[in-house]
Chains A and B, each alone.
Chain A
């Protein structure tokens, strides 16, 4: 690995030209060259995350577990909303809670990441995209840990998933795209306007109720009709959550291609906006952070 990367550097024609306003030609190649920094920053965030804590990694389990219990009791028992297919309400809530938690922490950590690493930004060069991207990795680790609860709950209810559970990584990827897009946008704005940090907790709290976490998205479709449901799918987490439920609960839950496609389109659009805004303001970060 070293030899290849130093070969690139030692090419006699290796030459960088710094000019105002000109975006770098080597940006994406640079991003690749700095991949080790990406790993190591992600590793730093993970290993520091639960140092000097009592419960430690347990936090990744406790939060979704308690939320799942509350939602199951409120939506399932008190409000008496129907579950999806033959799945127990707890499994249905949990299969949405996990991707939601992943989305929420990804959005939160990535949008706080640049300001949190101000010291680095003002002293060293590297493609700044690395920082929010590596911040998301910690939430991925949390997600994998909390996945244990889902497995536990399935065992408890003696619920056997089908082969579709293998498609889960695709939906995790979709959740990642949905989180990193706005994350990049907000973290870049946050460098200049610090009040964007107040937007995120609100967005996350609001989103929890707007997204079909505590209830089935079928409830929305039945109540408001097909067109309203398509609009509802503009929220990328609708596609993610429906996908998760389809993959985990299985046959009895139909897969809605149009709504997933709409969610995917919004997520990609937000990713595009996020990256292009980030790239545009990136070079000024060191001056204003």
Chain B
């Protein structure tokens, strides 16, 4: 084995979390000065009390990460939201500094943490290709050489000289990904960018990524999409709570992750006491559950049942919110999305309590386990949203419908079939 192209040695990254009553994300000098007397006073008292108004909490986003990546390896990094995947990529891309430990990188890194970083809405497609390319680390000659290829890949030939603010969101994303896809670094770091664009384009991106991987370059790839990880990567690394919990083949990693996932609550979701305390006073989801009118109990539903999702929220009085639901397969692929704005763009709370109910008729998903994501979005600025990936899971079980149709376990949904066969 040759020398690893990337090696993490006991890497750790600590963030200071500030809990501030005002909800400002930045520090104002005014507040620092205003808080000075009380801080001096508290220091004199022997530091019995914390600072006024704000409290800081240490949080290790990554701790004791030891990992070697060999040249040419394609590594999938899997983990829940907040597990530390993105922080890992940020440290690797030199955007943020590690707090402890060491990373050694032997090659040029290009990182794609977001599609279209630095795109300027006023500039044309042509101009943005050069801008974005330079931001991602390509030289002007390199971009010029690949320009036609990029344009062809993005399918935006006619709109090259239109400002990108007039682009449809699909075109925008295609152009942005096309630039990134033509990077040729030794190490490519990609964060969840395949989650954008329509299915056909996603497939194209996946193909491009496969080419990159096949060309002997080293790729670190973060995704929630297990299918994509399995298709692209040979090696999989599972990260949980800032630590590497599994490192091995991609197959095993995705399997391990999927099983690990089952510990999420079943049939209904209630926040942990710790989380409830953390979110007190802010918008948060108090209870979310799925039931069926034709069914006692929660959690197991015959294929084709009506499902009712009930979500109780506590929100600041007077704030406007909306609620989104997403149903994902066990492999992390989104199968259903529902949103309260379909009914009503925003809901204003007068009492601080809200209850959303969403009824889905005849849910004919293929029998199996599904994970529900619940997202409470605050439309007022300055309020935090609450989003819970994999809040709870439920199971679709066999029913008359799924039993009568053959090969029904292949695919995602089942429909009554009527055939006419002429002979």
Contact = CB atoms under 8 A, between A and B. Distances in A.
A283 B97 contact: yes
B139 interface: yes
B93 A124 contact: yes
Contacts of A37: 134-135
A1 B139 contact: yes
A120 B26 CA distance: 18
Nearest to A38: B134
A132 to B, nearest CB: 16
Interface of B: 15, 26-30, 32, 90-91, 93-108, 111, 113-114, 117-118, 120, 122-123, 127, 130-131, 134-136, 139-142, 186
28 contacts: A1-B140, A9-B107, A9-B186, A14-B108, A15-B106, A16-B104, A18-B103, A18-B104, A19-B98, A20-B101, A21-B97, A36-B134, A37-B135, A40-B130, A44-B131, A47-B123, A48-B122, A52-B122, A119-B117, A119-B118, A126-B135, A194-B27, A194-B28, A195-B28, A195-B30, A286-B96, A287-B15, A288-B26
Interface in A1-59: 1-2, 5-6, 9, 14-21, 36-37, 40-41, 44, 47-48, 51-52
Interface in A163-212: 192-196
A48 B107 CA distance: 35
A284 interface: yes
A210 B98 CA distance: 45
> Which of A44, A121, A284 has the largest number of chain B CB atoms within 10 A?
A44
Interface of A: 1-2, 5-6, 9, 14-21, 36-37, 40-41, 44, 47-48, 51-52, 119-126, 192-196, 283-284, 286-288
Given A119-B117, A123-B95, 11 more contacts: A9-B108, A9-B186, A14-B106, A37-B134, A40-B134, A47-B123, A120-B135, A123-B113, A286-B90, A287-B15, A288-B26
The 6 closest A-B CB pairs, nearest first, are: A125-B94, A193-B29, A18-B103, A40-B134, A283-B97, A2-B141
Contacts of B127: 44, 47
Contacts of B130: 40
Contacts of A119: 117-118
A84 to B, nearest CB: 41
Contacts of A15: 104-106
Contacts of B96: 283, 286-287
B120 A44 contact: yes
Contacts of B104: 15-18
B158 to A, nearest CB: 21
Contacts of A288: 26
Given A44-B123, A119-B117, A18 B29 contact: no
A14 B120 contact: no
Nearest to A4: B139
Contacts of B93: 124-125
A87 to B, nearest CB: 41
A48 B163 CA distance: 11
A196 B100 contact: no
Contacts of B122: 48, 51-52
